[in-house]
Copies of this chain bind each other. A is one copy, B any other.
Amino acid sequence: MSSTTGSVGRAMSLRHSVLGLLALQPATGYELLQKFDNSLSHAWHASHSQIYPELAKLADEGLAEIVGEGPRRSKTYAITDAGREELRRWLSEVEPVRTSRNETAVRAFLVPLLPPEQQRPIWERELAYAEQNVRQLEGYAEVVPTSSPFRTNVDLGLRMAALIRDWIRERLDEVS
């Protein structure tokens, strides 16, 4: 185990997102990919071409380990004690990077530059997306037990999605 590269004190949200998802539950790379698009979609995104190499690196450094191999040559990874400690260290001791990137927000910011008749189809598209987003989160909220420590997370996501949806409705009303 453990190669060279130093995980000193830098950002690396991908690494800690993966580690965090594994701390919740052991998973294959393929399953993690889906979690990034579900429970973590508002916070971070990762594609399979990032996830698989990252899992290999985590295993190499002893922060995760392969705990089983299933059909279709799938490998299930679990977090190790060293991985849990690294997660704690990152959450507690590494200064958070506060920058954020969200293309949808950039678009919403810039749409008012266009004349109203060009705005309307854009707000309609955004409303459709926002409504679908709320529905998806509502479905997700239904399966997360009230007792789960992550329940409040889902609730916040849902409230924010609803706020955005209502705001877009107002924008659409304004240009109609």
- A interface residues, Cβ below 8 angstroms from B: 11, 13, 16-17, 20, 23-24, 39-45, 87-88, 91-92, 96-114, 118, 121-122, 125, 129, 149-150, 152-153, 156, 159-160, 163-164, 167, 170-171
Distance, CA A50 to CA B17, complexed state (A): 26
Q: Is the CB of A114 within 8 A of B88?
A: yes
Which B-chain residue is minimally distant from A44 (CB atoms)?
A: B106
Q: Is the CB of A150 within 8 A of B109?
A: yes
Distance, CA A129 to CA B97, complexed state (A): 12
Q: Is the CB of A102 within 8 A of B103?
A: no
Which B-chain residue is minimally distant from A43 (CB atoms)?
A: B105
Q: Is the CB of B163 within 8 A of A109?
A: no
Chain copies in the assembled complex: 2
Given A114-B91, A118-B88, the answer on whether A13 and B152 have CB atoms closer than 8 Å is: no
In the bound complex, residues from chain B placing their C-beta under 8 Å from that of A20 are: 106, 109-110, 113
Q: Is the CB of A102 within 8 A of B100?
A: yes
- A159's contact among B100, B101, B163, by CB below 8 Å, is which? B163
Distance, CA A156 to CA B112, complexed state (A): 14
Q: Is the CB of A164 within 8 A of B156?
A: yes
Given pairs A44-B105, A45-B101, 13 additional interface contacts (CB within 8 A): A13-B101, A16-B110, A20-B109, A42-B100, A42-B105, A43-B108, A45-B99, A91-B122, A92-B122, A96-B125, A100-B102, A100-B104, A156-B167
